[in-house]
Amino acid sequence: MIMDTASHPDEDDPCMTLLEAACLVRLANALRIDESIPFIVTAIYIDYQLSASRYLVFQPDISKREVRIYIV
């Protein structure tokens, strides 16, 4: 799980958090030995108004670079 907060009113964009989660998923899938259990990252972004958004980030096929993001 990774979490990020907006520390300034102009910083109200979770893109950097989601990019970090996608990189973490790709790295974990490249390093893991047991491919039967999928690696999923939960990313939480808290905006300047203290509203939290939660995302599930995973790689459906580890032989490809595609990463999927679900908003929970």
Q: Note the pLDDT tens digit of each residue in 52-72.
A: 999 999 999 888 889 999 998
- The whole-model pTM stands at 0.85
End-to-end CA distance of the chain: 14
Residue pair 17/32 in contact (Cβ under 8 Å)? The answer is no
Written as six digits, the tokens of 23 are 């990189």
Q: Which residue has the tokens 């690696």?
A: 39
Question: Which tens digit of pLDDT belongs to each residue from 10-54?
Answer: 777 889 899 999 999 999 999 988 877 889 999 999 988 889 999
Residue pair 15/3 in contact (Cβ under 8 Å)? The answer is no
